[in-house]
């Protein structure tokens, strides 16, 4: 890891590379244990077995109070002194905007690490563990201030099966073994720390299972039925979840929107009971993706009534709903005798047991994690780890005649042009499921900071959009390119880069791609005009500085692609709906294991 100058820990958000946010407000009180009705009940008696503690609390609740705790926004129970609790917090690569997380007051921001696809590119599981440990520390600090929950719906461990999938960046890549190694390291860092009595936070592995399609040609994730063979299920789609549940002992999993072989995931007895609980020994709860329970009735047409829909989901072990279907229709299922109160109690036992394991009902002064505060957020260690992980994830795909790195001493009084839609990217560098970062260093700022005092002229022009044909900014970019000694293009790639104006420049052209995968780089690979090609994924808060240190030789890039880069023809040759991994008469195969075509760049 290269230590370079980062903004001071108390730096104001002031430059063009920073982004201001408007916070939102969510009520998230912390339980008080020394007064109020709850303090006198067995739920707060640490000498009792945890399941006995949970059972006593459940038995004191009315049926309507129980139902109100079957959804992720659980209501208060005033007569018991039980506060409301928001189960849904997010922390995919740092605390993220979600119903349970508030960026405000003394905790206005949290460290933004590179996306999981970047961490996959490092193949460094100690790094993954260390990042997860910092994320969970910051999560506890936020929780202690009432600005986050203790249950986080992360990580996402589906396989990056198809380059068209819009959420591949949320995963560590296409390989089930790599994903399994990643999730084990991550869960250890998230859930375990210095106090073995408690979970540090409760993680959640999602989306169970065979989920990797959002919306393609009119078929979306709410309607899609994934046809998966037993062989592919065992070899590709289940291993990461087995590691997460059985080995890492995650506290919860999330059932997905889609169906698997005709059965909705949140109504799938074989997956949720036989596999997750009986075979993998899940010690925790199952939560639905948001609105997924209703999908059984409304989009998959697996059930025919709301009562049956509730009953099937509850009986197979979907304990908690992200949504309101349970809230509205559990009473209907009870009245029609499709379910019993004991079915609800079983699910509440699982969710309350996790809260007990988190120390939620125990005195704060007895818990190490309850002592964490704002001083444990956005530390120098966290900043350096965010930068270091971004550097380590960068992949050098092409370097003609070893043109990189560039010696700054040879650039005195010369001009470098930074062109493209990602030259001044800030929030975009964070990727999906991001929060408010303490600072965001874009490529322009990173280049200028690193070359300060070297008499190197850094200029930039947007030039084009990612996939836009609007030419209004072309002229300025072309003029800058012609007048510069070296040209860097930052962005996603489309035909706007191979235009006459760019071909006419005699300056070396370097391409930096910010993406999660799925872009055909073949013409850049083969073009004599393009001197180098660098993939940076979504590198987080210090991404602009990370790429600058690589280009100017302060860090030697060693990242490796965690995905196969297919030719553009792949989308016409292989249906996104075909879940089969092995090649067939209609499928060239998927991932480095089974693809029989010629990859642009290999895994």
Rounded-to-integer distance, Cα 292 and Cα 283, Å: 22
Position 253 scores a pLDDT of 99
Q: What is the pLDDT of residue 596?
A: 96
SS3 153: coil
Question: For residue 92, what pLDDT band results from cuts at 50, 70 and 90?
Answer: very high
Q: For 290-303, b where at least 16 C-beta lie within 10 A, e where not — what string? A: bbbbbbbbebbebb
Residue 38: pLDDT band with limits 50, 70, 90: confident
pLDDT of amino acid 468: 63
pLDDT for position 503: 40
Active site residue 289: yes
The answer to whether residues 114 and 514 touch, using CB atoms and an 8 Å cutoff, is no
Question: Quick one: pLDDT band at residue 218, thresholds 50, 70, 90?
Answer: confident
Residue pLDDT, tens place only, 488-510: 999 863 333 333 333 434 577 99
Q: Is 400 inside a domain boundary? A: no
Amino acid 35: pLDDT: 65
Interatomic CA distance for residues 157 and 208, integer angstroms: 9
| Each residue's pLDDT tens digit, 179-188 | 999 999 999 9
Alpha carbon 565 to chain centroid distance? 21
Amino acid 473: pLDDT: 78
Q: At 162, list the tokens.
A: 């198809």
Which of 28-42, 159-173, 580-594 is predicted least confidently?
28-42
Which tens digit of pLDDT belongs to each residue from 371-421?
Answer: 999 999 999 999 999 999 999 999 999 999 999 999 999 999 999 999 998
Token pair listed for 452: 């300060």
Residue 501: the pLDDT is 36
Q: What are the pLDDT digits (tens) for 98-108? A: 999 999 999 99
pLDDT 10s digits, 407-422 = 999 999 999 999 998 9
Q: What is the pLDDT of residue 18?
A: 32
Q: Which of 289, 308, 424, 442 is catalytic?
A: 289
CATH of the domain at 324: 3.20.20.300
The two three-digit tokens of residue 523, written as one number = 């013409």
Position 297 pLDDT exceeds 80: yes
Considering only CA atoms, which of 251, 247, 147, 240 is closest in space to residue 191?
251
Q: List pLDDT tens digits, range 228-284.
A: 999 999 999 999 999 999 999 999 999 999 999 999 999 999 999 999 999 999 999
DSSP calls for 320-366: BBSSSHHHHHHHHHHHTTSS-HHHHHHHHHHHHHHHHHTTTTS-GGG
Report residue 471's pLDDT band, with 50, 70 and 90 as the boundaries: confident
- With CA atoms as reference, report the closest residue to 82 among 348, 310, 329: 348
**Least confident range of 21-25, 67-71, 294-298, 583-587:** 21-25
Does residue 319 carry a pLDDT above 60? yes
User: For residue 29, what pLDDT is reported?
Assistant: 42
What local confidence, expressed as pLDDT, does residue 323 receive? 97
Q: Residue 8's pLDDT band (boundaries 50, 70, 90)?
A: low
User: pLDDT at position 14, please?
Assistant: 33
Q: Are 499 and 474 spatial neighbours (Cβ–Cβ below 8 Å)? A: yes
Query: If pLDDT is split at 50, 70 and 90, which confidence band does 5 have?
Result: low
**How many Cα neighbours within 13 Å face the side chain of 372?**
26
* Averaged pLDDT for residues 306-329: 98
192-216 residue pLDDT tens: 999 999 999 999 999 999 998 888 8
What mean pLDDT is predicted for residues 554-581?
A: 94
- The mean predicted confidence, pLDDT, of the chain is 91
Indicate if the pLDDT at residue 33 is higher than 60. no
**What pairs with residue 96 in β-bridges?**
90
Query: Above 80 in pLDDT, residue 34?
Result: no
* Residue 461 included in any domain: no
Domain assignment present for residue 380? The answer is no
**β 85-86/73-74 pair status:** antiparallel
Residue 601 domain flag: no
Q: Is the pLDDT of residue 465 over 90?
A: no
Predicted confidence at residue 388, as pLDDT, reads 98
Q: Which of 16-25, 439-448, 496-505 has the lowest mean pLDDT?
A: 16-25
CA 229-232-234 angle, to 5 degrees, is 105
Calpha distance 100→73 (Å, rounded): 9
Residue 281 lies in a domain: yes
Q: What are the residues whose beta carbons fall under 8 Å from the beta carbon of 301, sequence distance 6 or more? A: none
pLDDT at 472: 75
Q: How many domains does the chain have?
A: 1
The 3-state secondary structure of 59-126 reads: HCCCHHHHHHCCECEECCEHHHCECCEECCEECCCCCECECCECCECCECCCCCCCCHHHHHHHCCHH
Q: Which residues contact 218 (CB under 8 A, 6 or more apart)?
A: none
pLDDT tens track for 138-167: 999 999 999 999 999 999 999 999 999 989
pTM of the model: 0.92
Structure confidence at residue 15 (pLDDT): 36
* Angstrom distance (rounded) from CA 490 to CA 551: 13
Q: Could you tell me if residue 238 is inside a domain?
A: yes
Distances in Å between the alpha carbon of 592 and those of 105, 119, 211, 279, 585? 47, 19, 20, 29, 18
Q: What whole-number percentage of the chain has pLDDT above 90?
A: 82
Quote the pLDDT of residue 462. 82
What does the pLDDT read at residue 463? 75
Question: Among 14-23, 120-129, 278-287, which is the least confidently predicted range?
Answer: 14-23
pLDDT in tens, 510-543: 999 999 877 889 989 999 999 999 999 999 999 9
Q: How far apart are CA 405 and CA 531, in angstroms?
A: 12
Tell me the CA distances in angstroms from 384 to 1, 9, 125, 318, 553, one per residue in order: 8, 12, 17, 40, 18
Provide the domain limits for residue 281: 38-64+203-357
pLDDT of residue 495: 32
């Amino acid at each position: 890891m290269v230590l370079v100058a980062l903004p001071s820990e108390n730096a104001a958000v002031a430059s063009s590379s920073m982004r201001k946010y408007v916070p939102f407000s969510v009520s998230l009180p912390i339980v008080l244990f020394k007064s109020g009705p709850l303090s006198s009940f067995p739920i707060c008696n640490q000498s009792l077995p945890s399941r006995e503690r949970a059972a006593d609390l459940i038995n004191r609740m009315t049926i309507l109070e129980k139902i109100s705790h079957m959804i992720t926004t659980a209501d208060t129970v005033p007569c018991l002194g039980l506060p409301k609790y928001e189960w849904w917090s997010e922390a995919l690569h740092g605390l993220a905007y979600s119903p349970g997380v508030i960026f405000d007051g003394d905790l206005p921001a949290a460290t933004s690490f590179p996306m999981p696809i970047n961490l996959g590119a490092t193949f460094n599981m100690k790094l993954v563990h260390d990042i997860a440990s910092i994320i969970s520390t910051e999560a506890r600090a936020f929780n202690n201030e009432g600005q986050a929950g203790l249950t986080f719906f992360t990580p996402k461990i589906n396989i990056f099966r198809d380059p068209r999938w819009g959420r591949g960046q949320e995963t560590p890549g296409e390989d089930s073994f790599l994903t399994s190694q990643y999730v084990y390291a991550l869960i250890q860092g998230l859930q375990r720390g210095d106090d073995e009595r408690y979970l540090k936070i409760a993680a959640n592995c999602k989306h169970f299972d065979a989920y990797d399609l959002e919306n393609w040609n009119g078929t979306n994730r709410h309607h899609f039925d994934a046809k998966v063979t037993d062989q592919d299920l065992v070899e590709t789609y289940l291993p990461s979840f087995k590691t997460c549940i059985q080995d890492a002992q995650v506290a919860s999993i999330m059932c997905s929107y889609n169906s698997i072989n005709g059965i909705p995931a949140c109504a799938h007895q074989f997956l949720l009971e036989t596999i997750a609980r009986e075979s993998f020994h899940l010690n925790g709860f199952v939560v639905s993706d948001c609105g997924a329970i209703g999908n059984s009735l409304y989009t998959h047409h697996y059930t025919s009534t709301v009562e049956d829909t509730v009953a099937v989901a509850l009986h197979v072990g979907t304990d908690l709903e992200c949504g309101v279907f349970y809230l509205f229709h559990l009473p209907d299922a009870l009245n029609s005798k499709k379910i019993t109160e004991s079915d609800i109690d079983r699910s509440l036992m699982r969710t309350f047991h996790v809260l007990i394991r988190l120390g939620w009902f125990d005195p704060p002064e007895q818990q190490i994690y309850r002592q964490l505060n704002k001083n444990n957020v956005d530390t120098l260690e966290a900043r350096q780890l965010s930068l270091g992980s971004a550097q380590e994830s960068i992949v050098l795909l092409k370097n003609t005649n070893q043109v990189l790195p560039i010696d700054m001493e040879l650039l005195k009084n010369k001009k470098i042009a930074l062109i493209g839609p990602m030259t001044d990217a800030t929030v975009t560098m964070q990727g999906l499921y991001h929060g408010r970062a303490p600072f965001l260093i874009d490529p322009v700022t990173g280049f200028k900071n690193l070359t300060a005092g070297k008499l190197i002229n850094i200029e930039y022009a947007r030039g084009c959009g990612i996939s836009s044909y609007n030419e209004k900014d072309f002229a300025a970019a072309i003029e800058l390119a012609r007048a510069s000694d070296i040209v860097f293009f930052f962005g996603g790639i489309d035909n706007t880069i191979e235009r006459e104006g760019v071909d006419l420049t005699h300056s070396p052209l370097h391409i930096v791609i910010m993406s999660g995968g799925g872009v055909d780089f073949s013409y850049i690979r083969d073009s004599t005009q393009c001197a180098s090609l660098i993939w940076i994924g979504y590198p987080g808060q210090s991404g602009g500085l990370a790429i600058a240190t690589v280009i100017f030789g302060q860090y030697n890039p060693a990242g490796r692609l965690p995905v196969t880069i297919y030719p553009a023809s792949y989308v016409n040759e292989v249906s996104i709906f075909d879940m089969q991994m092995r090649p067939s008469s209609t499928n060239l195969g998927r991932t480095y294991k089974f693809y029989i075509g010629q990859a642009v760049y290999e895994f």
